Every structure is written in C-alpha cells, then in structure tokens.
Structure 1
C-alpha cells in the first residue's frame, strides 16, 4: 500500500477527447501531443504507444506519451519516437505556469517517479530517451531520477515586434540576397499534397549526397498533411516552373514551426532557402502567430550559421537519457548489438 498521490493510467480511444482537451489548455503541449498525431506516429513506426494520463489523486495533471520497442534484447522507451521528424515530446502538464513553485516541483517529481515506476515494472526498459518540449524548461525531476541531461537548441523569432524590425535585424547581405532571388524570378507558392512527393524526393537526394539516409516515410508525411490540414502548410520555391526546394510548416496555438524540408538545391545561387525562410516568417505574421521557430537548426554545427544571419533568439530545451550499466557501456563502446540498433532507431 502506498500513500503516493501521484498515479497514472493508460488512455485508450475513449479518452481521446479528454486527452486533446488537456493538450489544448496545457502551456507545455505541442501539436505533437495531439491524440491523432500520436496514433499516426504509432502507425508509421515499429514502436507501440503508451499514452499515459497522470493524476494527483483523482485530478488529471498531465499527459505523458511513451513509445516503446522490444528488439534484440533491447527494451527501449522514447518520447518522441525516432525517425518521424519529431524533435520533442515528453510530458505536458496542465497550468504549469500558474502553479506556485512548491506545487509545480511536487507535480514534476511525483509524476516522474510514477512514470519511471511504470517503465521499470511494465516495460522493463534498459534504454530511455526523452526529448522535452521547449515549454518544459525545468529538467530537474529527470536529473533527480538518474537521467543524463543535455541541452538542445532552436532558433525563435518574436513576430510581435513586427516584420520591419525583423527585416532590419538581418545581416545586410542576407537582405540583399533575398531581394536578388526575387529579381531573378524565384517565387514562393503555397503547395498541396501532391508536392509532398517532390519534397520527399528532394530531401532524399540531398541526404544521399551527404551519405546519409532520409528515414522519414513519405506515407507518414501524407498522413499528417491529410489529418492536420488546418495546422500544416507547404511552401514551394519555384524557378522557371521547376520546384527547387520545399518545406512543411506547422502552426499550433501561437507558434509556427518550420518543420521538414528546405533541402539545399544544386546549382542555384543565392540559396532559395533564404527567401523561403523569410516568406515563412511573413506568412506566420500575416496569420496572427506570435512566434516563428526554426526547429533544431541552432544545434547543428554545420547549418546554424546559415540561419543565424537572420539574427533570431536562441531557445533551449532538454534531452533526458537513462540507461542500465550494461546498455550504457555498450552504447558508449559502439558494440555489435547496440550500434546498429541506435543508428536505426535513434533520431
């Protein structure tokens, strides 16, 4: 018998409406927390979804989606699942910003203990990896439960300051190159589902040039676009009728995310990605968004300098990882079992 007031249960389809209500009012939730999005992820991955609703006694206080896989002796838990373009997920608490600090810390630590107990007793995981929402800025509950904490980074633009200020804040050379691409006849158009084929092909080709694999399934992107039409928009950069590059962006609450795409085209200078980035920002502003986010780019040593020319703000989020001694040694040593598994399943 335990006096711990924090408990969890696994949600099912009958809970979908309640789940999405929590997501809608949570200040930590993202579009990736939506019930339908999670089920689409499960459909297009090898992982099984365990959608946890967390309670303080009988009061729901958070949703906590887990994805787990048991393979070749590995019992892995991820949130989000890898290779689907989700850079973050993890828990989303209700009204976290309005809670007093002592109540907030109690919720975070109590819930994480309950979730860890579920992972230990039900899944028996030997590898756990959580990439937390950027709105979950306090990773101490994970640290105190034995997780390794690492920072990750996004670039964020405050659209409330107005487009004139954002334009003037760019490097002069960046403004000149954007204007040059316009004078050359480059156009940015709103695309449709038919452009997902082109986008996926361009991304796959670009990755191939770098001896990398583009692991996001095209069918997954089509499924997301079909089910989240109000939240997704495809921008296509064309020159003389030819698609040079394209990007999928997402809007949720007061943010717009530059999500998947913008592969660098061959033999076109200056890069059309400068214009497509600027047009994405303009489109987000015109649609009443408060913030525009370049996901993950700020943490990429090779790519960050391209987008830092726009002089965005830096946003920090956190990754939390826990391994058993055995899997930790194997991972760090790149041994025979874990190396191919982590290359395949880790984003």
Structure 2
C-alpha cells in the first residue's frame, strides 16, 4: 500500500500537534502554532504535510514555500530564522521490522517529494533533519545531496558531582569557585543565575545581535520572532536562563525542549565582566534540566572551530544531523552563474 500525502490546515492544528507530541523526531518548532509564526516572519507559505498508510499516520513534514520571480524554493526550516533543525518526523515505525520500517520511510519521503513536485515545482529544496531522523537514504535515492552536520550533546547524569566530573578542570573551577575568584565591592552580593521571563528573550537576542554588529557580521533573526515563539508555545517549551548582577542583565541563554533533551538555541555571548558568566549559565541550564528529569543538553552546533573549544569542555559527545539539498538543472546553472559573477 502506498503512503498518501495530505495537508492539514490551521483548522487541524490540534490533530497536527497530537502527531508532533507522538514523534521522537519532532521539536517545538514543529508545533502548529510555531509553524504559523515561522511562516509569518519568513514570508513563506507553510505546507503541513502528513503521510498516511490507510488511516494510520506515517509521518509529518512541514515545508515552507517561497517564490521570487521564476524561482520557487522549499525549505524546512525556513530562512532566516536561525532554526537549526526541522524536517520530517516519523510516526508508528518503532515496532516495525527493519524491512517494513525502511519501506514505510522511503514511501513517505518519496510521497512528500512527489507532492512538492506536483504542487510547487520547487527549483530548490533545503531541509535540515533532527538528530533522531537517521535514515536519509530515500533523499539520496531521489537525487538529493545529503551532508552530515554535527552538534555536541552532554549526557545528564543523576547527580551534580557526576556531571561536574565530566567537565574540564577550568569549567569545574569556574563553577565551584565563582564566589572565591571574583572580586566584588563590599555589599555586592555577586551575580545571580536563574530562569528568566519573556522580556529576557529580547534581552538575550539583542545581546547576540550587538555582538554580531560589533564583529561586522549579519544577524538575520527578525526582531520579535523569538519572543513571539516563546509566548505562543506551551509553557516550558522554551526557557530563558539569565545572569544578573546588581539588578542588571549581564547575559543569558534561550533554550527549547523536546521530551528528553534541552537545547541551547540563542545567547551565550561573552559579556564584558570579570567573572565566568557562560560557564555558570550552562551549568544552571543543565542542573535545572536534571531536576526536571531530562536526559541530555544539546549545545546546538559543533561545526565552528572558534567556539568548539568552549563547548567541548563540558564533556559532550558528537552527534550527527543532516542537511538535504536538491536543485533543478536550471537552478544549478543560476547558482553557478551567481558564483562566477560574485
């Protein structure tokens, strides 16, 4: 039996979210309310595609369409929102035999690609999958390029001392000895590290934007996007962790959560102070997640040598996700011309 591809529109948001909540490959950016915000801020049309084998859902695949002149592109996730992973999320395959699971995944992916070709005819398709979506062969068999990418993931043990034990010596010192090593004026109680609120979302993102501006690099995350996501998603799907000193914001990290992992999304800019802010922010994220029973902390990215040294000191493992790209001959020619002119 083939896998039939259908669209769930905004009236079917509750059904779509039930599928999101059941899939190990989904994250909060897959939720219906998040997709609506993503489409609005990226200037795209979101197609919420679901594959069915008979009446049974096989998987979901949100795809964002954008057309400009003769070019139509399809994305998951859409630019320029700095969402690192989205793409397909499978359902009802865990208990299948390897043979049946492979057949179902292939038919689901093929069905989505055929739907896109019939309904959108994209010249370019770009997808970034979650770490848990491991079988990328159906994309390769459909003439797409599949490229591995990498992230650091820290396994969270049961106890704080067990967690500290996997850190580098300087990370342990920065966490254990903050009060002893930092010099504060008399009456200064020192910094606090705690969960923040919606207003801190904008403070964290603005902190990142200021750092990019200072370095002369573009930061394309639209203003207001992260806060609207934070306020739209269910409570706890996204969290802010902030450092304050003498009542003033010093730095912060914006996170999002799946069933078992917490993910570092925005923030972590090194502030101009003489105490170790980011080590203690990441420590606060991890210990808070441990108390809520989460298993791992995804540092979101291990592909930039400039910041890998910082992330590696928390004793993470390297995990793989994938980028998928498929383009038409006309698009290849256009990209080639653009490269030569540039």
| TM-score using structure 1 length | 0.90
Contact 1:27 1:95 in 2 (8 A): no
- Report the counterpart of residue 330 of structure 2 in structure 1: 326
Structure 2 residue 312 is the aligned partner of structure 1 residue 308? yes
- Report the counterpart of residue 220 of structure 1 in structure 2: 225
- Report the counterpart of residue 185 of structure 2 in structure 1: none
After TM superposition, give the deviation of residue 148 of structure 1 in Å.
Answer: 0.5
Q: Report matched runs for 1:125-274 at 5 Å.
A: 125-183=122-180, 184=182, 185-228=190-233, 229-266=235-272, 268-274=273-279
CA 1:176–1:30: 2 relative to 1, 3 Å: same
After TM superposition, give the deviation of residue 170 of structure 1 in Å.
Answer: 0.9
After TM superposition, give the deviation of residue 235 of structure 1 in Å.
Answer: 0.9
In 2, Cα distance between equivalents of 1:302 and 1:289: 28
CA RMSD after TM alignment: 1.9
In 1, Cα distance between equivalents of 2:228 and 2:280: 28
In 2, Cα distance between equivalents of 1:284 and 1:141: 35
CA 1:237–1:334: 2 relative to 1, 3 Å: farther
Contact 1:27 1:96 in 2 (8 A): no
CA 1:244–1:168: 2 relative to 1, 3 Å: same
Contact 2:57 2:92 in 1 (8 A): no
Offset from partner CA, 1:69-110 (integer Å, 9 cap, x none): 001322100001122231111111113332211111111111
After TM superposition, give the deviation of residue 331 of structure 1 in Å.
Answer: 2.8
Aligned length: 333
Please give the secondary structure, in 1, of the residue aligned with 2:321: strand
Runs of 5+ consecutive residues of structure 1 not aligned to the other structure = 340-347
Runs of 5+ consecutive residues of structure 2 not aligned to the other structure = 183-189
- Report the counterpart of residue 89 of structure 2 in structure 1: 92
CA 1:321–1:272: 2 relative to 1, 3 Å: same
In 2, Cα distance between equivalents of 1:291 and 1:284: 8
In 2, Cα distance between equivalents of 1:253 and 1:197: 25
In 1, Cα distance between equivalents of 2:65 and 2:22: 27
In 1, Cα distance between equivalents of 2:76 and 2:57: 20
After TM superposition, give the deviation of residue 333 of structure 1 in Å.
Answer: 5.2
CA 1:165–1:50: 2 relative to 1, 3 Å: same
In 1, Cα distance between equivalents of 2:238 and 2:28: 10
Structure 2 residue 311 is the aligned partner of structure 1 residue 317? no
Please give the secondary structure, in 2, of the residue aligned with 1:299: coil
- Report the counterpart of residue 17 of structure 2 in structure 1: 20
In 2, Cα distance between equivalents of 1:270 and 1:97: 47
In 1, Cα distance between equivalents of 2:310 and 2:339: 36
| TM-score using structure 2 length | 0.92
- Report the counterpart of residue 31 of structure 2 in structure 1: 34
Offset from partner CA, 1:173-217 (integer Å, 9 cap, x none): 221123343442332122112223322221111011221122212
In 1, Cα distance between equivalents of 2:119 and 2:213: 40
